[in-house]
């Protein structure tokens, strides 16, 4: 760490070598006092609003608040720097319980895809893996679980590890990957059991009916009635 002197209060403070020449004040309070003449904590709501409006105006006119040169400096200064456990916990506590809209989640996902992701390594991930980690797949999975009341449609268990199962398999029918009526909720064990019996390719509704022990020839209406009462999804028979 390098020792510097605050240009406002004269107090000595320490910074990492990468911050030398960038950091001039010992705290945000001194920085605000240096540029406004008063502490941010003592600014009136009107003054704070005025500063915020000026920043938004700059973003609207120029497309950014900090210039590309400033952002590059900030990026370089933060590289390799790890946040303290206290900082991480403080941020987590602030955001805990907050729910983002689907549109907000989609925008955040798009902003971190591909070359925009800090862990980008030139596109070495498999296509299927990228799809299953994407926001569209997560929204599809949540919709399937909610429709089936978070209940395995084979063993009718709740409170267990659930998997969304593609009735017509993921690889053979790419156009049905995010179709709600092409999904059903199975627990982890039942999902593995299904693919152990029928494999992972060319899956269809007939296999699912057999797996759920529903007749694929003449309909067993008594069994189907029990399934409807228990919340189990009933599907039309189709190869």
Structure tokens at 221: 């209406």
Distance CA 66, CA 64 (A): 6
pLDDT band at 62; cut points 50, 70, 90? confident
CB half-sphere exposure, 101, CA atoms < 13 A: 3
Neighbours of 229 (CB within 10 A): 8
Q: In this predicted structure, which of 28-32, 42-46, 62-66, 203-207 has the lowest mean pLDDT?
A: 42-46
Q: Mean per-residue pLDDT for 115-123? A: 75
Contacts of 219-226 spanning 24+ positions with Cβ under 8 A: none
Quick one: pLDDT at residue 215? 40
Question: Is the pLDDT reported for residue 236 higher than 50?
Answer: no
Question: Is the pLDDT reported for residue 60 higher than 90?
Answer: no
pLDDT digits (tens, 9 = 90+) for 156-178: 999 999 999 999 988 888 899 99
Distance CA 76, CA 93 (A): 28
């Amino acid at each position: 760490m390098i020792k510097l002197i605050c240009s406002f209060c004269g107090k000595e403070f320490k910074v990492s070598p990468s911050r030398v020449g960038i950091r001039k004040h010992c705290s945000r309070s001194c920085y605000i006092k240096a540029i406004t003449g008063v502490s941010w904590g003592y600014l009136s709501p009107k003054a704070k609003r005025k500063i915020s409006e000026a920043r938004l105006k700059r973003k609207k006119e120029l497309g950014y608040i900090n210039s590309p040169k400033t952002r590059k400096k900030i990026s370089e200064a933060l590289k390799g720097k790890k946040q303290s456990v206290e900082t991480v916990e403080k941020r987590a506590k602030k955001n805990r319980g907050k729910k983002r809209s689907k549109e907000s989640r989609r925008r955040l996902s798009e902003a971190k895809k591909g070359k925009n992701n800090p862990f980008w390594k030139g596109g070495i991930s498999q296509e299927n893996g990228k799809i299953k980690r994407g926001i569209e797949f997560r929204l599809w999975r949540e919709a399937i679980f909610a429709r089936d009341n978070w209940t395995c449609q084979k063993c009718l268990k709740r409170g267990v590890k659930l998997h969304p199962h593609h009735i017509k398999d993921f690889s053979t029918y790419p156009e049905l990957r995010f179709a709600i009526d092409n999904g059903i909720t199975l627990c982890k064990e039942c999902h593995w059991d299904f693919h152990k019996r029928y494999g992972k390719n060319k899956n269809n509704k007939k296999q699912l009916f057999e797996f759920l022990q529903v007749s694929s020839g003449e309909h067993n209406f008594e069994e189907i009635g029990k399934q409807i009462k228990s919340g189990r999804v009933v599907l039309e028979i189709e190869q």
